Amino acid sequence: MSVLDDPQTAGRARLSFAEPAEIDQFVETLARFERGEITPDEWRKYRLVRGTYGQRQAADAQMLRVKIPQGVLNGEQLRALANVAVEYSRGWCHITTRQNIQYHFVRLHDVELAMRQLADAGLTTREACGNSVRNIVSCPYAGVTRDEVFDVTPYAEAMTRYLLRHPLSAVLPRKFKIAFEGCPDDHAFSAINDIGYRAAVAPDGSTRHGFRVTVGGGTSIMCRTGAGLSDFIPAGDMFAVAEAVIRIFHRHGDYEHKHRNRLKFLIKQMGWEAFRAAVTDELDAIRAAGAPPLPFDPERPPVEDEPDWPRSEVPSVEAIADLAAASSTHGPGIHPPAVSRDGGPGGERTAWLASNVRPQKQAGYSIVTATLPLGDITAGQLRALAVLAESYGDGLVRTTPEQNVMLRWVKSGQLPAIYRRLAAAGLGQPGAGSIEDVTSCPGAESCRLAVTQSRGAASLIKDRLAVVPAVARAAHDVKIKISGCPNGCGQHHVAAIGLQGSIRKLGDRVLPQYFLFVGGGVNGEATFGRLAAKVPARRVPEAIERLVQFYERERQPRETAAAFFARVDAAKARAAIADLEQMTLDAARPEDFIDPGDDHAFVPDVQDGECSA
């Protein structure tokens, strides 16, 4: 069992997740590596558990991943993240599909300095990478949406604190992912996690809090939706259930073959009944020894009440614009646009109100989403966001699995005012959660495993949709997700249109292409996209436009685009874009041999990844 920092761990006033002594140990271990006292493999295993991942660049370049439990950040933390972006990275950071924050091109000897700044604000990189229990994600709407069963935030945070630095959390066969969801819609993608906790009430008709538990979900090379371990476990048993599953994974998992050592492979190897029986026996043993209790009454969790304190003074539009523009971006890669806009009345504001605002269950308040192209946010925007959260919201923001940022507790009457300020900071783009809101992993810009520049492809798609708005309107509910390799960090397997980076040989030359999948999604359980085509990278935007036109021709009355792609025969979808698949040396243009996002000929360079150690 782990040691909880304090019994009062849930709610707005969260205690620190950091442990400064670990940073001293990181410095000492780095020195030992540089003196040759530990091997490169030992150092790699160590630093990965501390959130430091080597990039593909031969020079001193690290990716630093910051664990953001449940995606919740306060103003102090946003400012600390901004400072680290300016001082040690490229002036911006990236939000992942697991609600984390990533920096790229961080020098190894700057990692310690970045960690210390983050720790001062209560943030940690511990177990953000490596064969560990990764960041525990949670529905970003938890606590404020009308259709949730109950607010899962305090339970998810308690689980984070229970498993953070747990004796088994960093010595597993492979990474281990947990998600909490309280809504009918699976916003946290719990179905593709190793353990998914879905809020439920007791089947006896009482109002006892509990969870439906699924295990063994995942994507990548063997896509699986989580299997039902229990339709209802009391909320007070959630630690014990996680402990039991993790113990079985630790005891029986495959430590040798990194490509088949996730929990889903263990379940396949053991067989479902044998695995479930092993977990049940382990759970009985844990209960007999005294199951670990939650730090609060599971039937009376902390409640996120209406803010009852004076909010900060509202800044002027000009002050927000100046704050957002005060820092610059630099270095390699595709930079965030961060374009300041007027934000006055007009079509864009109307579109933003329709796509980026959602009423809370608490009367008079709204949830506001700031759309982040490619999941990137600059240091200046982080600082502006901190000010806006403190003056218009409850002082907190939440990162989302769609790589955006959400402000809650915004008074509905102040929506035009906050929009003007978001627009001034370059954060007022409409289309959150729509076909225009493309999800992308970092791709070959930094990742060792990536085949293609997924961010470049995402930019091409967004540019194309901007000039054909009718396409975006027709299929606004479609989710496009892109990964630069089969691993699926961009969650392309569960998108209505998913794209996976690949290579095509054309004579003695190679060009970037994408496997195009249709029909994926997560709704109760995961549905994985079916391969429809293999399209050269530069033709992907046209392929998507063609697929939307295909939907408009073939859809049933009132059928949404996402529903259409879920049911349509993949062969018919392929027929709609078949000519785009074809490519000969004679027909190829010079730009076809340049990966979008690059300025030179495509040279595939897939390296040994560090996803497992």
The CATH number of 439-593 is 3.30.413.10
Distance CA 578, CA 3 (A): 57
Percent of the chain scored above 70 by pLDDT? 98
Among 7-11, 244-248, 526-530, name the one with the lowest average pLDDT.
Answer: 7-11
Percent of the chain scored above 90 by pLDDT? 93
Residue 340 has pLDDT above 70, yes or no: yes
pLDDT tens digits along 431-469: 999 999 999 999 999 999 999 999 999 999 999 999 999
Q: CB within 8 A of 42, min separation 6: which ones?
A: 33
* Start-end of CATH 3.30.413.10 domains in the chain: 137-290, 439-593
Residue 260 has pLDDT above 50, yes or no: yes
Residue 9 has pLDDT above 80, yes or no: no
Give me the chain's average pLDDT, please: 95
Phi-psi region of 160 (alpha: psi -120 to 50; beta: other; left: phi over 0): alpha
* Start-end of CATH 3.90.480.20 domains in the chain: 317-327+338-424
pLDDT tens digits along 309-325: 999 999 999 999 999 99
Stated pTM of the model: 0.96
- Burial of residue 52, with CB atoms counted within 10 A of its CB: 0-12 exposed, 13-18 middle, 19 or more buried: buried
Q: Which CATH number fits domain 20-120: 2.40.50.100, 3.40.50.170, 1.20.120.1200, 3.90.480.10?
A: 3.90.480.10
What is the fold of 317-327+338-424? Sulfite Reductase Hemoprotein; domain 2 (3.90.480)
Residue 7 has pLDDT above 80, yes or no: no
Distance CA 329, CA 71 (A): 24
pLDDT tens digits along 68-86: 999 999 999 999 999 999 9
pLDDT tens digits along 553-605: 999 999 999 999 999 999 999 999 999 999 999 999 999 999 999 999 999 88
Residue 613 has pLDDT above 80, yes or no: no
* Start-end of CATH 3.90.480.10 domains in the chain: 20-120
Q: What is the pLDDT of residue 611?
A: 67
Kindly give the residue spans of alpha helices, DSSP state H, lying in 207-302.
238-252, 263-270, 272-290
Residue 8 has pLDDT above 50, yes or no: no
Q: In the sheet that 480-483 helps form, which strands lie side by side, from edge to edge?
A: 439-440, 480-483, 497-506, 509-518, 530-536
The CATH number of 137-290 is 3.30.413.10
Distance CA 211, CA 358 (A): 26
Among 132-136, 516-520, 603-607, name the one with the lowest average pLDDT.
Answer: 603-607
Kindly state the tokens that stand for 347. 């079509």
Kindly give the residue spans of alpha helices, DSSP state H, lying in 50-176.
75-88, 108-120, 153-163
